[in-house]
């Protein structure tokens, strides 16, 4: 007789901790299988990336809106930027994305040493990126190109260059914070990688951080032409 | 159904207001119908199908025809409402070519109106009956909103941009207008009176400013204190506000922001009203509007006389 | 259990003292560091109730001050204009961001959603706990803003007022900015949980409708809240640095701020109301003892609201200086979003029809929801119709409309859900008769408070007015008296709910005869929810005797 | 009862394999990733090159097109979307869709606004958007917020 209350899975193989979870420290108690846990983490990080896209998206919308109002000011403003530095940083970030995806690959294939090397290179690239950014900011500050009310450029022919620089600092600043956050998380990954935590059996953190890092790269892929190149 | 309309809606000041009201009342009755339908079914079910021991309820999971009906019928009704609404909105949005233009400038928390002949008025608006009138509006600080209740029109007033509304006043008499976009401390006091005048009194108002010459000067001043917006920044009981209080000012020394001290005599008061920025009292910002060209000679005299009475107390 | 539907209170097993999530592990520290979704839900519940109380006190103050245009009550001057502006701002901010948005998803949803799915926990338990602390970090900053002088912008933070007023706007904006991330993380967690942690045998269309509502809500939380974050950030930076995006005098556009703000805040009103609908979709079939009618339509309408709800934000800006083209397009889309809400109401009614209805407190709140939400929805049609909206926008009509939806809808749903799941959460039954009396008081008081505001709004009483024309005095006074009745009902509720906690466990496992999985475990549940992994063998609303269909 | 339990949408009863078991990646990923990196670097070069020429209105379009190609390469290969579960791609597309709606509705508004000017005030000179540079200033006194570097307000009449 079918009971109205839901029966427990008496006839079934017990799932989760009873079967093997107790013995696997990497399987959390509320998941039945590693694959379920892995897929859940992937959905989680992709949802997080969606929120990142919409948050940066707000800045992009604001940028587009103000650019359409003051195209000359944005054009004049972008001339002050160091194009070489921007291009260099683009290359650096693309390379770091490449080493990151290799790190994921080596984690998945349990090659610890190569994983460590790739993570280290990625972090090194992130540091270069921040260093170049520092040089750029110093250059802009030395010309009085501060955001908002602190902007001073007596030669501004348009009167609205300060809006371009406000967006420049907000967008690259928020992006820079993301690079910094990525750097911190990768330091944590590196520590765990050295400890030997990641194998083909468990490499979720590497994969998840990798996805985050690629999104940060994608955002720069758009920032670079918008800020440095657009005429 | 006029009794219900007059109960829940304000007076109608224009043909457009009557159109809006017809639409409004249609929606009221439509809502009453649907509310009674829904509440009726709910109450009927609660009474008729109250739980009894041994009840067996039917296993109805869905009915596509029913779902279709109660999706499509409301949608059709809503589309009618949408089109009706757009029609009215378009009418209100496009002023007729012959509309007289009045410039509206809003500022915390006063209204200023400027007529084509250069006449200016504060918090008091005179229009000619049966002559469409268009308002081109802008703000000097934050967002305000010009809301003329009896005309059923309203539009936000933005800084550094013009917006417009229009109406065709057909009912002679007094109407109310107010600010409908939150703008700070004085928001709820930012209202005024719209006078719809017949042709003769409109012309007379343009010439005289509508001031009755028989009113004594100090009485006139106390009326202007309220009607011209002085009261939103100046108190008459000595308490500080946006501007200095008027109590006990007249005949006494006033310290200015540039360090000088002057005696508040007739000339000082007069200058402070007409060219407000000339001498700023210490501790206050230069935020007062210039009233040169806004107030008539007798009105300035009235205000000076009124301040004089407050100073002597 | 018998096939014949049994009356409530007699279903289920006799409760005994047994181990449960409330008592083990013990100690405050074990609560503060818990990753158990039930405990986090309870901590959220206590927090949102506290803010409900604070926001409610602000509301009573507003109403008291408006009792008479002189603002003098019994010889005491109530609020002055500046304080009044701060009080209504803080009422709005606290109610919206710290009470309503987390109320159903983060408090009740956290508690029951995993159990309804037959899961042991949400997908990311530690993120869940983090979201709770982020919520409190945001709330703490909001408190700092209140202590350092309050905020007087209204909860909408319209520029340039918010960028020029000298109140604590930056603190408040940062508080909401941070609290927004707690909302994002809750939504993220729920989506992942619903996707991956359903019990074996539970397909998408075997889920309880509450889960569909939570899913739709979570979609909006994840996709809209980041834009609120960037909006408040931009507004704060504009305030501090004058970057020129929203400030007209610098070349910016205040209307753009409103686009940014409402891109979040319109979906946000659905973030608030869809969970209320989700609870009603649970309560109605249980207390009608009848299969839900139109399961798929209700489920799809939740998703439909979530998607179309993103496209209608411009209807908050019909007179704000948008182009006429945008106004007409937004008006059209607004009428489309009315349809899914209507579909839900019809299906609830069809579920009640030919049911076997009892009127316990949760059902009273659910019926209140249907009636009040219907009024809220129908008056929404007024506001969607362009020429009428021009007259009604920024008046008390709007105030009444959104209180009918937010309080008449969401808060009724919240209170209904709170009573519905109270036995499961605490293991105790509350005093049923007092519950019914309180529900009646809240219903009567609510209508007394807000119905007059429709009439005042139609007559041209603008919102956010400290002083008002004498002609509105009787209706304002009536409204104020209504607010006292609501207050009485809610304090009564607080009283008997707290009193029930003093009793030993007396709630049966399934007091209402619900068919969803949270009722198939003990009250209060075990830390791991179920003794063993449950399997879904029937739909969530199968109220038919087995074998008769 | 058992007929329901066969509908296992979830992975509860699926193979309890390792995480790597389900990854259907390319045969030789390192070579593929190197190829993608090369493409990305070449595209970066192209975008810098293209920016040297003026295509008028097509400047933004060209730059954004190249950026989108680059972003797609990163998403499809570096972020594994090509071989991943469809759900993750749906999440990404949803985010982009709503961002696109946000952008397009804002521009629908700003691009269709009518320019309103008072009859007694000159049309705003040299403004490329719907914002008059001077407002006639009927009120005197200090303005709280002065427009930046703009002509002094001109008093009508």
Per-residue pLDDT, A171: 96
Residue C260, in any domain of the structure? yes
User: Residues of D with CB below 8 A from A71's CB?
Assistant: 128
pTM of the entire predicted model: 0.87
pLDDT digits (tens, 9 = 90+) for A114-159: 999 999 999 999 999 999 999 999 999 998 898 888 888 888 888 8
Return the exposure string of C333-352: e unless at least 16 CB atoms fall within 10 Å of the residue's CB, then b.
bbbbbbbbbbbbbbbbbbbb
List subunits contacting chain C, requiring 3 or more Cβ pairs under 8 Å: A, B, D
Distance from CA of D64 to the nearest CA of C (A): 22
Q: Per the structure, how many domains does chain B have? A: 3
Instruction: Assess D105–A contact: CB distance below 8 Å, yes or no.
Output: no
DSSP secondary structure of B1-54? -HHHHHHHS----SHHHHHHHHHHHHHHHHHHHHHHHHHHHHHHHHHHTB--TT
Rg of chain D, C-alpha, whole Å: 28
The answer to whether the CB of B117 falls within 8 A of the CB of B56 is no
- 3-class secondary structure, A79: coil
Q: Which two tokens stand for residue A101?
A: 């995806």
User: Residues of C with CB below 8 A from B184's CB?
Assistant: 85, 152, 161, 165
Report the complex ipTM: 0.87
> For C509, which DSSP code?
S
Per-residue pLDDT, C142: 96
Contacts 24+ apart (CB under 8 A), B66-69: B66/C346, B66/C350, B67/C294, B67/C297, B67/C343, B67/C347
- Is the pLDDT at D123 greater than 60, yes or no? no
Note whether D92 contacts A19, CB cutoff 8 Å.
no
Note whether B85 contacts C387, CB cutoff 8 Å.
yes
pLDDT digits (tens, 9 = 90+) for C247-298: 888 889 999 999 999 999 999 999 999 999 999 999 999 999 999 999 999 9
Q: Which alpha helices (H) appear in chain D, and where do they start and end?
A: 2-5, 29-50, 58-73, 86-111
Query: For chain C, what percent of residues have pLDDT higher than 70?
Result: 96
- Is the pLDDT at D46 greater than 60, yes or no? yes
Rg of chain C, C-alpha, whole Å: 23
> For C290, which DSSP code?
S
Q: What is the mean pLDDT of chain B?
A: 89
User: Residues of B with CB below 8 A from C389's CB?
Assistant: 85
- Is the pLDDT at D39 greater than 60, yes or no? yes
**Residue A111 neighbours by CB distance under 10 Å:** 18
Q: Which two tokens stand for residue B147?
A: 């809301």
> For C109, which DSSP code?
I
Cα–Cα distances (Å) from B101 to B115, B140, D119, in that order, read: 7, 19, 8
How many interchain CB pairs under 8 A, A with D?
180
* Angle, alpha carbons B263-B266-B269 (nearest 5°): 80
Which residue among B208, B240, B265 closes a domain?
A: B208
Check whether residue B203 and residue B231 sit in a common domain: no
Q: Do chains B and A touch (3 or more CB pairs under 8 A)?
A: no
Q: Mutate which of D109, D137, D142 to disrupt the C interface (most C C-beta within 10 Å)?
A: D109
pLDDT band of residue A19 (cuts 50, 70, 90) is: very low
DSSP secondary structure of C127-162? HHHHHHHHHHHHHHHHHHHHHTT---STTTT-TTHH
Q: Mutate which of C86, C256, C319, C373 to disrupt the B interface (most B C-beta within 10 Å)?
A: C319
User: Residues of C with CB below 8 A from A2's CB?
Assistant: 537-538, 546
Q: What is the mean pLDDT of chain C?
A: 92
H or E stretch at B106: strand B100-107
Region C503-518: mean pLDDT is: 92
User: Residues of D with CB below 8 A from A201's CB?
Assistant: 18-20
Q: Per the structure, how many domains does chain C have? A: 1
Cα–Cα distances (Å) from B240 to B225, B308, C71, C166, C466, in that order, read: 16, 18, 20, 18, 20
Region D44-67: mean pLDDT is: 88
Instruction: Assess A61–D contact: CB distance below 8 Å, yes or no.
Output: yes
pLDDT digits (tens, 9 = 90+) for A72-87: 899 999 999 999 999 9
Instruction: Assess C296–A contact: CB distance below 8 Å, yes or no.
Output: no
Note whether C248 contacts D131, CB cutoff 8 Å.
yes
Distance from CA of C524 to the nearest CA of B (A): 27
Q: Mutate which of B138, B280, B287, B293 to disrupt the D interface (most D C-beta within 10 Å)?
A: B138
Sequence-distant (6+) residues with CB within 8 A of D1 are A2, A7, C537
User: Residues of C with CB below 8 A from D95's CB?
Assistant: 223
Per-residue pLDDT, A1: 29
Q: Do chains B and C touch (3 or more CB pairs under 8 A)?
A: yes
In SS3 terms, A148-170 reads as HHHCCCCCCCCCCHHHHHHHHHH
The answer to whether the CB of D63 falls within 8 A of the CB of D56 is no
How many interchain CB pairs under 8 A, B with C?
274
Note whether D51 contacts A15, CB cutoff 8 Å.
no
Cα–Cα distances (Å) from B241 to A115, A205, B74, B186, B228, in that order, read: 69, 61, 54, 11, 17
Quick one: C53 exposed, middle or buried, by C-beta within 10 A (0-12, 13-18, 19+)? Answer: middle
- Could you tell me the maximum CA-CA distance found in chain A, to the nearest angstrom? 87
Instruction: Assess C177–A contact: CB distance below 8 Å, yes or no.
Output: no
- Is the pLDDT at C155 greater than 70, yes or no? yes
- Is the pLDDT at D11 greater than 60, yes or no? no
pLDDT digits (tens, 9 = 90+) for C92-144: 999 999 999 999 999 999 999 999 999 999 999 999 999 999 999 999 999 99
Residue C534 pairs with which residues in a beta bridge? A8
Instruction: Assess C539–A contact: CB distance below 8 Å, yes or no.
Output: no
Per-residue pLDDT, A148: 83
Q: Mutate which of A2, A6, A34 to disrupt the C interface (most C C-beta within 10 Å)?
A: A6
CATH number at residue B180: 2.60.40.420
Q: Which alpha helices (H) appear in A5-82, and where do they start and end?
A: 34-69, 71-78
Per-residue pLDDT, C12: 46
Check whether residue B167 and residue B267 sit in a common domain: no
Note whether B136 contacts D116, CB cutoff 8 Å.
yes
Cα–Cα distances (Å) from B236 to B8, B226, C77, in that order, read: 38, 11, 19
Per-residue pLDDT, D146: 33
Domain membership of residue B89 as a residue range: 2-45+63-93
Cα of first residue to Cα of last residue in chain D, in angstroms, is 88
Note whether C197 contacts A30, CB cutoff 8 Å.
yes
User: Residues of C with CB below 8 A from A15's CB?
Assistant: 200, 533
pLDDT band of residue B278 (cuts 50, 70, 90) is: confident
- The alpha carbon of C319 is separated from its chain's Cα centroid by a whole number of angstroms, namely 28
User: Residues of C with CB below 8 A from D111's CB?
Assistant: 323
DSSP secondary structure of C326-378? HHHHHHHHHHHHHHHHHHHHHHHHHHHTT--B---HHHHHHHHHHHHHHHHHH
List subunits contacting chain D, requiring 3 or more Cβ pairs under 8 Å: A, B, C
Domains in chain A (CATH in brackets) are 33-229 (1.20.120.80)
Cα–Cα distances (Å) from C407 to B192, B219, C431, D68, in that order, read: 34, 50, 23, 45
pLDDT digits (tens, 9 = 90+) for D65-89: 999 999 999 999 999 999 888 899 9
The answer to whether the CB of C215 falls within 8 A of the CB of C194 is yes
Task: List the one residue out of C214, C22, C12 whose CA is nearest residue C122.
Answer: C214
Distance from CA of C40 to the nearest CA of B (A): 36
pLDDT band of residue B298 (cuts 50, 70, 90) is: confident
Residues from D in contact with C at Cβ < 8 Å: 1, 4-5, 7-13, 87, 94-95, 98, 101-102, 105-106, 108-114, 131, 143-148
Residue C82, in any domain of the structure? yes
Between C506 and B233, whose confidence is greater?
A: C506
Distance from CA of D107 to the nearest CA of C (A): 9
H or E stretch at C171: helix C169-196
Q: How far apart are CA C521 and CA A136, in angstroms?
A: 61
pLDDT band of residue B212 (cuts 50, 70, 90) is: low
Residue B101 pairs with which residues in a beta bridge? B134
Of D116, D119, D139, the CB nearest to B140: D139
pLDDT band of residue D15 (cuts 50, 70, 90) is: very low
Region B147-168: mean pLDDT is: 94
Q: What is the dihedral of CA C174, C178, C180, C183, to 10 degrees?
A: -160
Per-residue pLDDT, A2: 31
Note whether C532 contacts A14, CB cutoff 8 Å.
yes
User: Residues of C with CB below 8 A from D115's CB?
Assistant: none
pLDDT band of residue D24 (cuts 50, 70, 90) is: low
Residue C5, in any domain of the structure? no
Of A51, A105, A160, the CB nearest to D29: A105
Distance from CA of C160 to the nearest CA of B (A): 5
Q: Which two tokens stand for residue C380?
A: 């929404």
């Amino acid at each position: 007789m079918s009971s109205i209350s839901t029966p427990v899975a008496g006839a079934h193989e017990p799932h989760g901790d009873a079967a093997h979870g107790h013995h696997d420290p990497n399987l959390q108690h509320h998941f039945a299988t590693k694959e379920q846990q892995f897929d859940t983490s992937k959905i989680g990080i992709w949802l997080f990336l969606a929120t990142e896209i919409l948050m940066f998206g707000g800045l992009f919308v604001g940028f587009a809106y103000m650019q359409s109002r003051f195209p000359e000011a944005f054009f004049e403003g972008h001339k002050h930027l160091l194009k070489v530095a921007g291009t260099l940083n683009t290359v650096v970030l693309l390379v770091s994305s490449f080493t990151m995806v290799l790190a994921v690959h080596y984690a998945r294939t349990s090659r610890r040493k190569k994983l460590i090397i790739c993570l280290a290179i990625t972090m090194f690239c992130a540091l270069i990126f921040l260093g170049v950014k520092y040089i750029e900011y110093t250059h802009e500050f030395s010309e009085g190109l501060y955001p908002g009310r602190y902007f001073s450029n007596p030669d501004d022919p348009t009167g609205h260059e300060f809006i371009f620089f406000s967006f420049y600092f907000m967008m690259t600043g928020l992006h820079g914070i993301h690079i910094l956050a990525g750097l911190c998380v990768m330091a944590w990954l590196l520590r765990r990688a050295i400890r030997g935590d990641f194998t083909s059996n468990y490499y979720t953190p590497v994969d998840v951080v990798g996805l985050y890092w690629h999104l940060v790269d994608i955002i720069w892929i758009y920032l670079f032409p918008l800020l440095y190149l657009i005429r | 159904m006029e009794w219900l309309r007059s109960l829940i809606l304000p007076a109608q000041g224009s043909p457009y207001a009557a159109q809006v009201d017809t639409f409004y009342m249609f929606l009221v009755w439509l809502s009453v119908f649907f509310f009674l339908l829904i509440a009726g079914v709910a109450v009927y079910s609660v009474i008729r199908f109250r739980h009894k021991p041994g009840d067996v309820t039917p296993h109805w999971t869905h009915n596509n025809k029913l779902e279709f009906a109660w999706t499509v019928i409301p949608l059709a009704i809503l589309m009618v409402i949408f089109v009706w609404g757009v029609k009215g909105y378009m009418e209100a949005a496009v002023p007729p070519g012959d509309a007289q233009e009045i410039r509206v400038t809003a500022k915390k928390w006063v209204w200023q109106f400027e007529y084509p002949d250069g006449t200016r008025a504060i918090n008091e608006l005179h229009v000619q009956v049966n002559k469409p009138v268009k308002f081109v509006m802008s703000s000097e600080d934050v967002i305000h909103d010009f809301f003329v209740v009896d005309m059923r029109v309203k539009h936000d007033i933005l800084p550094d941009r013009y917006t417009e509304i229009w109406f065709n006043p057909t009912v002679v008499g007094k109407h109310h207008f107010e600010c409908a976009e939150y703008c700070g401390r004085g928001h709820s006091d930012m209202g005024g009176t719209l006078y719809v005048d017949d042709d003769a009194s409109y012309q007379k108002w343009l010439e005289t400013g509508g001031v009755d010459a028989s009113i004594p000067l100090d009485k006139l001043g106390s009326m202007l204190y309220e009607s011209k917006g002085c009261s939103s920044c100046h108190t008459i009981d000595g308490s500080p506000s946006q501007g200095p209080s008027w109590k006990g000012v007249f005949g006494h020394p006033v310290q200015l922001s540039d360090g000088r001290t002057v005696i508040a005599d007739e000339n000082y008061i007069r200058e402070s009203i007409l060219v407000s920025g000339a001498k700023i009292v210490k501790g206050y910002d230069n935020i007062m509007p210039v009233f040169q060209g806004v107030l008539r000679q007798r009105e300035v005299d009235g205000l000076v006389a009124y301040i004089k009475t407050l100073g002597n107390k | 259990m018998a096939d014949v539907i049994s009356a409530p209170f007699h279903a289920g097993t006799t409760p005994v003292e047994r181990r449960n999530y409330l008592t083990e592990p013990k100690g405050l520290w074990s609560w503060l560091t818990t990753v158990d979704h039930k405990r986090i839900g309870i901590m959220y519940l206590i927090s949102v109730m506290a803010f409900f109380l604070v926001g409610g006190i602000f509301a009573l103050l507003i109403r008291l001050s408006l009792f008479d245009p002189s603002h003098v009550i019994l010889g005491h001057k109530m609020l002055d204009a500046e304080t009044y502006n701060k009080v209504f701002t803080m009422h709005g901010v606290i109610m919206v961001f710290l009470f309503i948005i987390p109320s159903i998803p983060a408090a009740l949803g956290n508690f029951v959603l995993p159990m309804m799915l037959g899961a042991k926990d949400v997908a990311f338990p530690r993120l869940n706990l983090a979201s709770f602390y982020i919520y409190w970090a945001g709330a703490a900053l909001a408190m700092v803003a209140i202590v350092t002088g309050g905020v007087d912008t209204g909860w909408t933070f319209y520029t340039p007022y918010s960028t020029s007023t000298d109140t604590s706007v930056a603190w408040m904006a940062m508080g909401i900015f941070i609290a927004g991330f707690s909302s994002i993380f809750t939504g993220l967690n729920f989506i992942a949980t619903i996707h991956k942690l359903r019990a074996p045998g539970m397909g998408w269309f075997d889920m309880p409708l509450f889960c569909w509502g939570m899913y739709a809500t979570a979609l909006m939380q994840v996709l809209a809240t980041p834009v609120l974050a960037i909006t408040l950030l931009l507004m704060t930076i504009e305030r501090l640095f004058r970057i020129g995006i929203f400030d007209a005098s610098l070349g910016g556009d205040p209307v753009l701020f409103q686009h940014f703000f409402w891109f979040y805040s319109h979906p946000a009103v659905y973030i608030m109301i869809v969970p209320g609908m989700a609870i009603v979709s649970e309560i109605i079939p249980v207390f009608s003892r009848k299969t839900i009618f139109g399961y798929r339509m209700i489920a799809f309408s939740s998703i439909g609201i979530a998607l179309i709800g993103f496209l209608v934000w411009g209807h908050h800006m019909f007179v704000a200086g948008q182009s006429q083209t945008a106004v007409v397009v937004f008006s059209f889309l607004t009428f489309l979003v009315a349809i899914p809400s209507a579909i839900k109401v019809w299906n609830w009614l069809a579920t009640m029809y030919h049911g076997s209805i009892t009127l316990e407190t949760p059902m009273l709140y659910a019926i209140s929801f249907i009636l009040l939400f219907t009024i809220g929805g129908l008056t929404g049609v007024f506001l969607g119709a362009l020429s009428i909206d021009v007259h009604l926008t920024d008046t008390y009509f709007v105030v009444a409309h959104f209180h009918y939806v937010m309080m008449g809808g969401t808060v009724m749903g919240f209170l209904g859900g709170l009573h519905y799941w109270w036995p499961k959460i605490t293991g105790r039954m509350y005093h049923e008769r007092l519950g019914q009396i309180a529900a009646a008081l809240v219903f009567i008081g609510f209508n007394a408070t807000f119905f007059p505001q429709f009439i005042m709004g139609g007559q041209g009483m603008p919102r956010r007015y400290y002083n008002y024309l004498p002609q509105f005095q009787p209706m304002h006074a009536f409204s104020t008296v209504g607010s006292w009745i609501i207050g009485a009902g809610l304090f009564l509720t607080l009283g008997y709910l707290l009193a029930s906690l003093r009793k030993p466990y007396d709630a049966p496992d399934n007091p209402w005869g619900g068919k969803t999985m949270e009722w198939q475990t003990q009250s209060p549940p075990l830390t791991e929810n179920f003794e063993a992994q449950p399997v879904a063998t029937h739909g969530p609303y199968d109220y038919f005797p087995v074998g008769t269909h | 009862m058992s007929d329901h339990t066969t509908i296992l949408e979830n992975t509860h009863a699926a193979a309890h394999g390792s995480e790597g078991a389900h990854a259907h990646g390319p045969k030789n990923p390192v070579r593929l990733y190197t190829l993608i990196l090369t493409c990305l670097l070449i595209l970066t070069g192209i975008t810098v090159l293209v920016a040297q020429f003026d295509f008028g209105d097509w400047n933004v379009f060209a730059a954004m097109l190249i950026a989108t190609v680059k972003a797609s390469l990163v998403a499809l290969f570096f972020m594994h979307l090509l071989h991943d579960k469809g759900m993750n791609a749906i999440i990404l597309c949803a985010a982009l869709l709503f961002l696109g709606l946000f952008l397009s509705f804002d521009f629908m508004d700003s691009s269709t606004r009518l320019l309103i000017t008072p009859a007694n005030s000159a049309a705003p000179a040299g403004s490329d958007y719907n914002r008059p540079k001077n407002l006639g200033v009927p009120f005197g006194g200090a303005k709280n917020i002065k427009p930046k570097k703009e002509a002094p307000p001109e008093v009508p009449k």
